[in-house]
Amino acid sequence: MSCGQIHAWNILDRKPVLAKWEERRFTEITATEKPPAGNQWIGPPLLDLQVNGYAGIDFQQDDLTEADLLHAVEQLGQACCDRILLTLVTDDWEAMTRRLAKARQLREAHPALGQAIAGWHIEGPFLSPEAGYCGAHSPDKMLRPTPERIAELRSLTGDDPLLLTMAPEIDGGLAGFAAARERGIRVSIGHTNAPAHILRRVTAGGSVGFTHLGNGCPATLDRTDNIVWRALDTPGLTCGLIPDRWHVSPTLFRLIHRLVEPDSFYYTTDAMAAAGAPPGKYRLGELELEVGPEQIVRLPGTPNLAGSALTPIDGIRRAAEMLDTDWQNVWPKFSQAPARFMGLPEAFTIGAPATFALIETDPANRIVKHSIQTAA
């Protein structure tokens, strides 16, 4: 029988913990009196709900292969992230749905991909075409979220977890949210300039996210009334935040942590192919994007950000830095919080697969080594 154990510090409560497993599942996670010998920390691996590509691989390409996906998820694992929602963004409907079907086929055919790709995030084409709010999504490809299109997304993904980002103020938007919920699709508001009363109509219908709050909007906003204020003033939203310092400024990042209920936000990278890869030119579907040495992803010649080059583990480091807190304090925002929002099983619990993040720190509590370990 394959069994094992590890005695380390628990990232989640910062206490000594003894974790045991049998047959690749945790059987015990118990606090201990005795501190572990070294500076090793264990906890749930990171979970990213918005990944458009990684390590040079663009998930929006038509000829995506099994080897591409395996490379991307292996590299995400190096950044302590073992589960993602593979994200597809606005394009011609036929191209988007074809890519979704292909990616799902690849996932079904390989157990490692089945484990790493926890589900799907569809961001577009049911978004605001308004300048600034559409972000890097092409406004002329936006469509109405008709019941037929929603049903098509559902049938292409079967029972897989599916997150759908939509703007509720567009033609058919509110009906689109209702149709998606009826089919068990998790919904999130994003790339939107919806007025307050529309946002509240969506939250009245049940749990809803807000995709990458602080982005998908113009760089300059009205100081008295803008989508960021309106979202923060709407109860019941679970907001995604990209903790890279660029998508959300450190000031806004700190304010959100102070103002918003702790259970009402999670972190995500919104990573594209340049994440976990050197600076250069990368593709996100039809867009060619530039990534400079500071790892900001831009549409060439514009100030518009288009996805990020952030790795999940660097998201943890930067979030802790912006909040001037220990990295352990932000870890749940990138592991348990997104799992709860999506209704996915939480990792590092009894009965869960014995896969865990293993972090080594220096005496100043800086992360010096990080990996994901899976019980053999």
Identity of the residue, 247 or 370, whose beta carbon is nearer to Zn ion in the bound complex: 247
Distances in Å between the alpha carbon of 12 and those of 131, 243, 268, 375? 42, 19, 19, 20
Identity of the residue, 9 or 266, whose beta carbon is nearer to Zn ion in the bound complex: 266
Tokens of 193: 């300039």
Least separation in angstroms between CB 165 and Zn ion: 7
Residue 319 phi/psi, 5-degree rounding, is -60, -45
> Which residue is nearest to Zn ion, using beta carbons?
216
Least separation in angstroms between CB 206 and Zn ion: 22
Q: What is the DSSP string of 202-260?
A: HHHTS-EEETTTT-SS-SS--SSS-HHHHHHTSTTEEEEE--SSSSS-HHHHHHHHHHS
CA atoms within 13 A on the CB side of 345: 14
Backbone angle region of 296, left / alpha / beta, with phi > 0 → left and psi within -120 to 50 → alpha: beta
Query: CB under 8 Å, gap of 24 or more: what pairs does 15-20 form?
Result: 17/42, 19/348, 19/354, 19/356
Least separation in angstroms between CB 113 and Zn ion: 24
Closest CA to 72 of 108, 103, 39, 28: 103
Identity of the residue, 45 or 307, whose beta carbon is nearer to Zn ion in the bound complex: 307
Identity of the residue, 53 or 216, whose beta carbon is nearer to Zn ion in the bound complex: 216
Window 44-63: residues binding Zn ion (CB under 5 A)? none
Tokens of 87: 């994200």
Window 216-275: residues binding Zn ion (CB under 5 A)? 216
Least separation in angstroms between CB 302 and Zn ion: 15
Q: Which residues pair with 164 in a beta bridge?
A: 122, 187
Least separation in angstroms between CB 109 and Zn ion: 29
Identity of the residue, 77 or 216, whose beta carbon is nearer to Zn ion in the bound complex: 216
Least separation in angstroms between CB 314 and Zn ion: 19
Least separation in angstroms between CB 138 and Zn ion: 13
Q: Which residues pair with 172 in a beta bridge?
A: none
Least separation in angstroms between CB 126 and Zn ion: 12
Q: What is the DSSP string of 251-312?
A: HHHHHHHHHS-GGGEEE---B-TTTTS-SEEEEETTEEEEE-TT--EE-TTSS-B-SB---H
Window 207-226: residues binding Zn ion (CB under 5 A)? 216
Query: What does the CA dihedral 259, 265, 269, 272 come to, rounded to 10 degrees?
Result: -110
Query: What strands, in cross-sheet order, belong to the sheet with 287-291?
Result: 280-284, 287-291, 297-298
Identity of the residue, 123 or 314, whose beta carbon is nearer to Zn ion in the bound complex: 123
Identity of the residue, 40 or 93, whose beta carbon is nearer to Zn ion in the bound complex: 93
Window 129-168: residues binding Zn ion (CB under 5 A)? none
Size of site (CB under 5 A) for Zn ion: 1
Least separation in angstroms between CB 251 and Zn ion: 21
Identity of the residue, 240 or 332, whose beta carbon is nearer to Zn ion in the bound complex: 240
Identity of the residue, 216 or 276, whose beta carbon is nearer to Zn ion in the bound complex: 216
- The Cα–Cα gap between 167 and 127 comes to 5
Residues at the contact surface with Zn ion, assessed by CB under 5 A:
216
